[in-house]
């Protein structure tokens, strides 16, 4: 088991790769843990001040790690297969939780990371996972979202996006093209993992901006249609793909309220939704 530390040099091994991670707040044996899974171009550093905010808002411990190819983690093998989110959300995440000694947790993912959290909850029987916080999740492809990724590829090649991302990724081309080329692969058009929702048996909070260029509210509606467990949503107005950065006060409050009720649920029946 690796140490619970905020040392930027900390590394753990999962799926044969050395991955950077950082921890904030109480250790797993002292409080529940929020496990943060980043977006398709994210990393530990790109969560910015979110971990510290969540420790303060919830009293939980918080841990974030960078998947292979991102941040200071080892590069990923490219091209990524179109099933990469399922692999990350089952094989890799399971090893990360074990390495960190997680005891009770809420999986909190953004974009690709939300999809991976959703896949884990619907594919792996793990009593440590008590809830899901999904920010801008993807369960199936949408033409508008794919076009936004194509457009982002243009910005990477012709504008200063590569320079900006290079501040956060040791191998920026590995990070960017691994994400871009998987999503724009023609075989990805039929990708759909919505059936994992059918197997959730834990409460879920979904947070989405109503002006997200990468996914529409159809993704949230898919959850509402299929879920059997307690479910609530926060749809934020005039908000794009990153509610936790664009609407931090509202997002933190929703997550804190959700986590508080999860803790009460461990002790007594409470109403969700």
Question: Residue 75, exposed/middle/buried by CB under 10 A (0-12, 13-18, 19+)?
Answer: middle
Segment 196-222 mean pLDDT:
98
The verdict on residue 6 lying in a domain is no
For 161-190, how does the pLDDT look when each residue is reduced to its tens digit (9 = 90+)? Answer: 999 999 999 999 999 999 999 999 999 999
Question: How many domains are there within the chain?
Answer: 1
How large is the average pLDDT for residues 256-271? 85
Per the domain annotation, does 4 fall within a domain?
A: no
Residue 25's domain is classified under what CATH number?
3.40.50.1820
Q: What is the pLDDT of residue 271?
A: 63
What Cα–Cα distance (Å) separates residue 116 from each residue in 90, 140, 253? 8, 13, 23
pLDDT, tens digit, 9 for 90 and up, residues 116-166: 999 999 999 999 999 999 999 999 999 999 999 999 999 999 999 999 999
Are the CB atoms for 219 and 139 separated by under 8 Å? Answer: yes
**Host domain of residue 250:** 11-265
Distance CA 259, CA 35 (A): 13
């Amino acid at each position: 088991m690796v140490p619970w530390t905020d040392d930027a040099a900390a590394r753990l091994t999962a799926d044969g790769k050395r991955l950077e991670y950082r921890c904030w707040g109480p250790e797993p044996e002292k409080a529940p843990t929020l496990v943060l899974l980043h977006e398709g171009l994210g990393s530990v550093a790109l969560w910015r001040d979110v971990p510290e905010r969540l420790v303060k808002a919830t009293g939980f411990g918080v841990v974030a790690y960078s998947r292979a190819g991102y941040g200071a983690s080892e590069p990923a093998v490219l091209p990524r297969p179109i099933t990469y989110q399922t692999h990350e959300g089952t094989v890799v995440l399971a090893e990360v939780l074990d390495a960190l000694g997680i005891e009770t947790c809420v999986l909190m993912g953004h974009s690709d990371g939300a999809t991976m959290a959703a896949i884990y909850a619907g594919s792996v029987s793990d009593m440590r996972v008590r809830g899901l916080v999904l920010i801008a999740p993807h369960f199936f492809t949408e033409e508008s979202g794919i076009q936004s990724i194509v457009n982002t590829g243009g910005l990477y090649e012709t504008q200063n996006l590569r320079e900006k991302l290079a501040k956060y990724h040791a191998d920026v081309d590995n990070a960017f093209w691994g994400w871009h080329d998987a999503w724009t692969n023609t075989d990805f058009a039929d990708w759909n993992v919505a059936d994992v929702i059918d197997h959730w048996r834990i409460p879920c909070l979904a947070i989405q901006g109503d002006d997200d260029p990468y996914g529409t509210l159809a993704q949230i509606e898919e959850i509402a249609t299929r879920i059997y467990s307690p479910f609530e949503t926060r749809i934020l107005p005039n908000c794009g793909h990153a509610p936790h950065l664009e609407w931090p006060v509202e997002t933190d409050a929703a997550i804190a309220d959700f986590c508080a009720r999860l803790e009460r649920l461990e002790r007594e029946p409470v109403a969700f939704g």
